[in-house]
Amino acid sequence: MTTLNDYYVPGLHISEHSIQVPLDWNGKTPGQGFAGESLHLFYRIVEDPARIHDELPLLVFLQGGPGGSCPRPLNPTSDGWIAEAVKHFRIVLPDQRGTGRSNHVDGRLIGQMDATQGADYLQRFLADSIVRDFEHLRRTEFAGQQWTTLGQSYGGFLTLTYLSLFPSGIAASFTTGGIPHVPGNAHELYEHTFRKMLMKNARYYERYPQDRERAAALADKLASESLMLPNGDPFTVKRLQTLGSSFGMKPSFERVHWLLDEAFANGDGSVDADSPLTEQFLFDVMTATDSHPLYWPLQEFIYANGELDEPIHWAAQQVRDTMPEFNTDARPLMFTGECTFPWMFEQERQLRPFRGAVEELMARTRFGVIYNAEQLERNEVPLQAAVYYDDMYVPSELSLDTLSRVGRSHAWVTNEFEHDGVHGDKVFRYLLEQARDRGDLAHIL
């Protein structure tokens, strides 16, 4: 194992590493040599400074997303699960292909390709390739040692892919807010999540009733004027509505409330249809509605498993079109959740280069196999899942249905936390204790 850098942040020892993985895993086997175009897979190992010479078991973190890189810890408590995990494990933090320092993918790269080339390229950045990268890493850099997985959000999707394809590589699994519906599809998912969005909007306006008027006035202003965000993107009602994509986290209601609070420039900032919008508000909206460059292009394709009966073809937009509550002229204004819409790839600067490739993918029906229902049913790897009852992104009713058909799985259902609960100091510790008390970790810890 070659070390690129070796250093400390307060309370943690970190080493940096990188290996080569195939761009296209077709016909190749993790752990074996390969020919053809490759990518860099970058990863960090995080340890307790007092235990860097101890032979601790491995825990690999499967980051949420899609298109998200692993945490950059500031200290053991900056991402709450790390403080507990580092007591028991050497933590492996890989940047999934296309993210962070693993051959970063953005619009500049995709913009150099035609639609078919771009679609072919992006399709290699989904779960079937990501999990093979991780299994290759385990076999080549860690001598095939089994590791424990912790999957947050999309990382839970990756967990089920890992358990479907390479279960022998895993000693135990934990997931937080990340059990997808198996079988399932994108259209079904959005039928559930749009209903969750209505519930979250109702709770938001119940907590901050004054924001009904403020959000409506902003929407009316954007519908009647041509306004731009600081990066040159048009500021439309639909863009304003996407502020709700964070409504499944804490304290997102408060963040959106205080963002809207400073929207109007005149006088004391009270709602004023004739007032210009503040520059700070425009900047904050731009920042809050921006995202990692792979997040929106890949969003709907994380639900594509093998040969599809029909193309995905903008599933979120299809469902939205059946729900007049989300029309731009409906009042109160409804904020939208974690959804990809066609207009994003026309209006948003960083997404425009992806437009042709995403349109091509939307019409495809053949994807890699990411779940094996039969293998999951006979699964023997202990799986402990935190299922958040009010989860806006991964509906709990779908997660529990899946878990009812996954061997050795255990669900902890709670409404104490939102989708980002793992970043506090309670969720992972509780899951670890539950698994340990059942004896599921006797062969590890």
Give 52-92 pLDDT, tens digit per residue: 999 999 999 999 999 999 999 999 999 999 999 999 999 99
**Three-class SS string for 7-46?**
EEECCEEEEEEEEEEECCCCCCCCCCCCCCCEEEEEEEEE
| pLDDT for res 40 | 98
| pLDDT for res 276 | 98
Average pLDDT on 223-244 reads 98
| pLDDT for res 292 | 78
Kindly report the backbone phi and psi dihedral angles of residue 119, in degrees, each rounded to the nearest multiple of 5, phi listed first. -65, -45
Angle separating helix axes 252-261 and 210-224, nearest 10 degrees: 60
Helices (H) and strands (E) in the chain, counts: 17, 11
Give 340-371 pLDDT, tens digit per residue: 999 999 999 999 999 999 999 999 999 999 99
Residues 6+ apart with CB under 8 A from 443: 171
| pLDDT for res 6 | 96
Which DSSP state fits 70? P
Q: Provide the pLDDT confidence category of residue 444 given band limits of 50, 70 and 90.
A: very high
Average pLDDT on 266-291 reads 96
291 pLDDT higher than 80? no
Bridge partners for 6 per DSSP: 15
Query: Cα-Cα-Cα-Cα dihedral of 349, 351, 357, 362, to 10°?
Result: -130
Q: Which residues of 34-65 are buried (b: 16+ CB within 10 A; e: fewer)?
A: beeeebebbbbbbbbeeeeeeebbbbbbbbbb
How far apart are the C-alpha atoms of 325 and 196, rounded to whole Å? 13
Tell me if 368 sits within 8 A of 165, measured CB to CB: no
Class of domain 5-183+371-437: alpha beta
CA-to-CA dists, residue 344 to 77, 106, 294, 348, angstroms: 35, 15, 13, 5
What residues does CATH 3.40.50.1820 cover in the chain?
5-183+371-437
